[in-house]
Amino acid sequence: AAKSRGRGNFQFFSRDMNAATHERLLLESRLWQALEQREFELYLQPQIDLPSGAVIGAEALLRWHHPELGTVGPDRFIPIAEESGLILPLGEWVLQRAIGLLGHWQTVGLGHLRLAVNLSARQCQGHGLLAQLDGMLADAGVDPALLELEITESAAMQDPERSRALLQALRARGIRVAIDDFGTGYSSLSYLKLFELDRIKIDRGFVKDIESDPNDAAIVSATISLAHALGLEVIAEGVETMAQADFLRAHDCDEAQGYLFARPMPPGQFERDTCATLDGPLRGPMSGQASV
Ligand code: C2E
Ligand code: MG
Ligand code: MG
Ligand code: MG
């Protein structure tokens, strides 16, 4: 950013550095307290069945309501939480909250909706995950098939043999597994053979220029064909325009998620908006105020 402001702006540069360091310290110093102080919240972003336009579920996306910085997105604090080890209790809180929401939905007529939760690399490497999930699902009386866990290919490939065993154990319980940010991990396609999966999420980076860049269009349509040939579902993330949704629908992509349909929002708003659209499919933006 400093570079783009032109030559001779060393002062801007060092001021930016100080601001970044300051922010990091501000985040780091409060991170452990934040869990206790209930400053975290799960926002939900609807996932849309492309042929019908119906909401089939949501992805849970973590937000931190920081007392000084306002609402902070996960890209700013997940890396710090990973380094400090907080990611384990935080990840456990995320699962607890997500499964709690699934339990709540059973009681308010939204029992058909699935919820996708992001897993960090460290959660996959630890030993406690399966026992945690078994306990939480049983306590909440939630069908494991309503829960989907998203893992990035780079996280899965850190220890492929261990990931293979974990994903197999998850699916043996009926929990769904998705590969997130598909195509960005510089890993070989051979892991598609190694891992048992339910679906892949095409990364936003391929969707962005789908209309103007023939390479991206080719990659996306080939990815959809490949996934279907392997018996997997495909969801595209970061869908922002009607033209992108039309392209994806025309190429048989199963589901989509993105600002075109709705931004991530607090659970209460998701429940209201989704209830409101149950009578009719969601073809364009959802009603209600967009948030973060
Ligand atoms: P992700 O799992 O790939 O999530 C998709 C990100 O794209 C989200 O950013 C979402 O808000 C954003 N997004 C959705 N639709 C659009 C769109 O149409 N256009 C654009 N430009 N962006 C869109 P967010 O919420 O900031 O999350 C960033 C990343 O943080 C996630 O990427 C995920 O890797 C991680 N993350 C989020 N929640 C959790 C969590 O509970 N645990 C862990 N371990 N990681 C999480
Ligand atoms: Mg995700
Ligand atoms: Mg993603
Ligand atoms: Mg992504």
In the prediction, which pLDDT does 189 show?
A: 84
By CB atoms closer than 10 A (0-12, 13-18, 19+), residue 187 is middle
C-beta of 205 in contact with ligand 1 (< 6 A): no
Tell me: pLDDT of 155 over 80: yes
pLDDT per residue as tens digits for the range 251-273: 999 999 999 999 999 999 999 98
pLDDT score recorded for residue 190: 84
User: pLDDT category, 12, cuts 50, 70, 90?
Assistant: low
What gap in Å lies between CA 177 and CA 199, rounded to an integer?
Answer: 7
- C-alpha span between 49 and 187 (Å, rounded): 28
With a 6 Å cutoff on the Cβ, whether 238 touches ligand 1 is yes
Cα 238 to averaged position of ligand 1 atoms, centre (Å) = 9
Separation of 71 CA from ligand 1 center, angstroms? 14
Q: Please report the pLDDT score of residue 277 as a whole number.
A: 59
| pTM attached to this predicted model | 0.90
pLDDT exceeds cutoff 90 at 275: no
Task: Answer yes or no: is pLDDT of 153 > 80.
Answer: yes
Return the closest-CA partner of residue 234 out of 102, 44, 49, 45. Answer: 49
Residue 109 Ramachandran class (φ > 0 left, ψ -120 to 50 alpha, else beta): left
- The burial class, CB within 10 Å (0-12 / 13-18 / 19+), for 122 is middle
* Rounded-to-integer distance, Cα 135 and Cα 132, Å: 5
CA of 178 to the centre of ligand 3 (A): 10
Which atom of ligand 1 has the smallest separation from the CA of 152? 34
